[in-house]
Amino acid sequence: MNIRERLLALGEPAYRDFSASLLPGVEHIIGVRLPALRRLAREIVRGDWRAYLRSAEEYYFEERMLQGMVIGYAPCPVDEFLSLTAAHLPKIDNWSLCDSFCRRLRPAEREPMWHFIEPLFLADGEYEVRFAAVTGLNNFTDGEHLDALLRHLGSVRHEGYYARMAVAWAVSVCYAADPDRTGAWLGEGCPLPEWTYGRSLQKILESRRTTAEQRADILRLREASKLRTARR
């Protein structure tokens, strides 16, 4: 069987319907579970994965997700990885394809990918912005990059829901990594737009990593924000 036939054989109607409920507007879902996709991607990488990527089909949702996984697993030089990443980004049109493509980076990939994502925070594409934010929260909340990551998150002005929610998610992960620095950044003068600011605070409040004392701090920030809004 070819790759498409194998994917179709792995599809589960109940899982297809469940996935479709989480991805409104996304068509051509087969219903293949993530572990099965990952196993297939690893199998492809053990062979001529470059030939696969050159000829891979893209009609089905899982075909595009599989391509992203193969790029992530492929043993290739960093420059080639970034080139493949750049070529794959335009194929991403929903949060699931985006987030499955954002993985923990290998040490040699970290700085090149940091420079790759920096301009994407200001990109026109909703999922380019989301890719930058999710890659950031997965890899760059360390002490060396945290301040720059917060600065980039604060610069995002894309109106797309999934871009803005990714920024809020990333801010909450920054807070978990360094509550003092991120909490200070969230104080008066925070550059986040009002909607994203509110969602960021809510994400922090919902996190199981947030202590009772930190939750009280975030609630005070939220009340202060409401007062500033009321005065306008």
Per-residue model confidence as pLDDT tens digits over 142-156: 999 999 999 999 999
With 90 as the cut, is the pLDDT of residue 211 above it? yes
* Lowest-confidence segment of 37-46, 127-136, 149-158, 218-227 by average pLDDT: 218-227
Mean pLDDT of the chain: 96
Cα gap 6→131, rounded to integer Å: 28
pLDDT band, very low/low/confident/very high, at 232 (cuts 50, 70, 90)? low
Residue ranges per structural domain of the chain: 1-77, 102-232
